Structure 1
Amino acid sequence: MEKIIKTGICSYGMSGHIFHAPFIHVHPGFAFTAVVERSKHSAQQRYPDVKVYASVEEMLQDASLELVVVNTPNYTHYEYAKAALQAGKHVIVEKPFTVASAEGEELTALAKSKGLVLSVYHNRRFDSDFKIVRQVIQSGDLGDLLEAEIHYDRFKEELSYKKHKETSLPGTGCLYDLGSHLVDQALQLFGMPDAVWADIRIIRKESVVDDYFELVMYYDKLRVRLKSNYLVREPLPSYQFHGRKGSFIKTKADTQENMLLQGLMPGAPGWGEEGIHEWGLLHTEKDGKVIRQYLPSPKGNYLEYFDGVHKAIATGAPVPVQPADAVNVIRIIETAFASSKAGQVIPVKK
């Protein structure tokens, strides 16, 4: 019989409601048994068996919990993840891991010292669009890569109703929020760069947090440009890769978030499938023949992440996202802020 891991979620906002609870609920190896909701009891309306706690501290006293999902505001990730580890719980931390890389390193060492599983929810590794991007890059069909560009754009002048995202606090702003996805994907594809240049700005009229960034990661012969802008009404393709043999162009088209927002559960018919109109364009040359074709993407599936966490806890297998990878994401973000402030290229500490 598969080990059932009793799991608690530290918040039932969009992250808990959309990105964690449904997967924990449908996965046969987890039981969603606890959640923190200070006023509403929304989780119980959908999951009647879940127990509601008034605070994270109170939930951590539940001896039956084995796994805790820390999905509170970014500046609290370090505090709550540390408290959960000290309480003897395995921990999933929502991205970004921590505000400072030193905090992430401390949590990694603490989890190791206690023999506990610690992983970070970089779920965009399991998007359909990134899966085909990874396949194309690894295939070598583009030849030596010279330029890569990854975008995560939006069009929204008004501020978010989530006040913690629009307040000038540590870890807020576009680079920590959306940028952590892009940085993680770039590091997965290409590893740590030699240096970083960045331009980080505030462009919305009422905003007090960064909502625009351009970040260039310097490798030997490759330049990787990461961009996000909250005022892009007509976005460019989200993925653009150019090598000595050819190019690959792809939209950001994973369907999982929209399906979850519609109230569907993971595994519903058509889960994670892209429409044919979203397929990526490969234009390259093989064996002296020019090829221009659209490639279907594998299905997106965040459940793969939870499968990996379950195996890590139950069998000691490696976690699907290593905390060291998530620390490197924060290290790049820190370097980017230093670059934007200084107006110069900054070497990356490795």
Structure 2
Amino acid sequence: MESASEVRVGLIGYGFSGATFQAPLIASVPGLRLTRVCSSQSERVLRDFPDVEVVADPAELMASGEVDLVVVATANASHAPLARQALLAGKHVVVEKPFTITLDEGAELIALAEQRQLHLSVFHNRRWDSDFLTLRQTIDAGLLGPINMYEAHFDRYRPNVRGRWREQNLPGSGILYDLGAHLIDQALVLFGNPDCVNCDIGVQRDAGSDAADDYFHLTMRYGARRVILHGSSLVLQPGPRFTVHGDTGSFIKHGMDPQEAALMRGERPGAPGWGVEPESLHAQLSFVKGALTVTGKAQSLPGCYQEYYQRVFEAIAHGKSLPVTAREGLAVIKIIRMAMQSHAQQRSVTFE
């Protein structure tokens, strides 16, 4: 790079992910400059970012000398070919989660990035959710003791199947690749690779054979510990987001991190109260300390999605470590593929 003080970014895709997450978060980080966007929605892009150049062809964006980092925010099936094209063009790459659809695709991209000495990362932003940051610190502080049972839900109420690729029966579509990828990544961050996986996947909404899966119930076993990850599109009144029990304590948390909703309202990182949950959503924490039993509310740490891109900048410009490595992104795909195998064969699948 000519200058370590600036990383120029080209964004491919300006749908929900590109417009709601990627572009605003990139713009919030000093040192990152959005210079190119590949999209058919030029009016929308220029309304939001009048100083960028909009192109229609990803190849044109990748060939630009004004792009150091390519962010791929397109349909899941296009992640691997676009990331490969960008790496061959000599660009660093961020891929929206899920990383790829298959393990072979991901392994090929990792090998190519290493061969070309380029940074390759996966946008697992929910590591910086308010509730997950709070839970992780609670566990790291030892307040719960060794964890016996961890249950995480990502439930929504969307009874009608929409005409989006995410909800159609296509490779890489469905709730397991979409919301399940978040829950799996969080579990791997906390506990590492499981001993085995068991999963039930289904289509519960009445939409015929063209609908993607809208339900999953995934159990990851770690010796005596059970990690249960659940997602559904037919939950009108959700239960706890996290239910975690250890030898010496419990952590029960309702509600969702506020950052996605704030981004959809047009708010940006750095605004007053960014990522701060209301007290009504603070977790219920109970733990034993000596002869005392302590019960009360655990104040949530502020969420900070912008931290992901801050660390991407520092990795490219200053040689620091990536916030999420491609190998970590590929580990999520491995669990998804094991879950699909478990469902198809109606058995537990051992991690190899």
The two structures share one fold, judged by TM-score above 0.5: yes
SS in 2 for 1:81: helix
* Alpha-carbon distance in 2 for matches of 1:191, 1:72: 28
Aligned to 1:289: 292
How far residue 2 of structure 1 moved from its aligned partner, in angstroms, is 6.0
Aligned to 1:175: 176
Please, which moves more after superposition, 184-193 or 18-27? 18-27
Q: Deviations over 1:232-253 (max 9, x none)?
A: 0111111001112121101243
Gaps of 5+ in 1: none
Aligned to 1:192: 193
* Alpha-carbon distance in 1 for matches of 2:280, 2:163: 33
SS in 2 for 1:98: coil
Aligned to 1:44: 46
2:206 counterpart of 1:220 = no
Decide whether the 8 Å contact of 1:41 with 1:52 is kept in 2: no
Please, which moves more after superposition, 239-248 or 176-185? 239-248
* Alpha-carbon distance in 2 for matches of 1:11, 1:24: 14
Specify the code of the residue in structure 2 equivalent to 1:44. L
Matches within 5 A, 1:1-350: 3-162=5-164, 164-206=165-207, 208-349=211-352
Decide whether the 8 Å contact of 2:282 with 2:299 is kept in 1: yes
Which contiguous aligned blocks of 4+ residues in structure 1 show a shift greater than 3 angstroms?
none
* Alpha-carbon distance in 1 for matches of 2:330, 2:188: 11
* Alpha-carbon distance in 2 for matches of 1:5, 1:243: 43
How far residue 161 of structure 1 moved from its aligned partner, in angstroms, is 4.2
Q: Deviations over 1:63-104 (max 9, x none)?
A: 221001011100110000000000000000000000012211
* Alpha-carbon distance in 1 for matches of 2:273, 2:41: 35
Decide whether the 8 Å contact of 1:38 with 1:55 is kept in 2: no
SS in 1 for 2:194: coil
- TM-score under structure 2 normalisation? 0.97
* Alpha-carbon distance in 1 for matches of 2:103, 2:143: 35
How far residue 287 of structure 1 moved from its aligned partner, in angstroms, is 1.4
How far residue 13 of structure 1 moved from its aligned partner, in angstroms, is 0.7
Q: Deviations over 1:146-182 (max 9, x none)?
A: 11100000001112342x1122211100000000000
* Alpha-carbon distance in 2 for matches of 1:26, 1:138: 29
| Number of residue pairs matched by the alignment | 348
How far residue 259 of structure 1 moved from its aligned partner, in angstroms, is 0.9
SS in 1 for 2:237: coil
Decide whether the 8 Å contact of 1:212 with 1:229 is kept in 2: yes
* Alpha-carbon distance in 1 for matches of 2:29, 2:17: 17
Specify the code of the residue in structure 2 equivalent to 1:281. Q
Decide whether the 8 Å contact of 2:241 with 2:256 is kept in 1: no
Decide whether the 8 Å contact of 2:14 with 2:41 is kept in 1: no
Specify the code of the residue in structure 2 equivalent to 1:273. V
Specify the code of the residue in structure 1 equivalent to 2:76. N
* Alpha-carbon distance in 2 for matches of 1:298, 1:86: 40
Q: Deviations over 1:100-124 (max 9, x none)?
A: 1221111111111111111100000
* Alpha-carbon distance in 1 for matches of 2:188, 2:299: 24
How far residue 127 of structure 1 moved from its aligned partner, in angstroms, is 0.7
Decide whether the 8 Å contact of 1:239 with 1:252 is kept in 2: no
Alpha-carbon distance change, 2 to 115 in structure 1, aligned in 2, over 3 angstroms: closer
* Alpha-carbon distance in 2 for matches of 1:58, 1:36: 9
Q: Deviations over 1:20-75 (max 9, x none)?
A: 11121122111111111124421111111110111212211212210010111001
- TM-score under structure 1 normalisation? 0.97
* Alpha-carbon distance in 1 for matches of 2:61, 2:163: 26
How far residue 320 of structure 1 moved from its aligned partner, in angstroms, is 0.3
* Alpha-carbon distance in 2 for matches of 1:148, 1:180: 16
* Alpha-carbon distance in 2 for matches of 1:144, 1:306: 32
Decide whether the 8 Å contact of 2:152 with 2:183 is kept in 1: yes
Gaps of 5+ in 2: none
SS in 1 for 2:94: strand
CA RMSD of aligned residues (A): 1.2
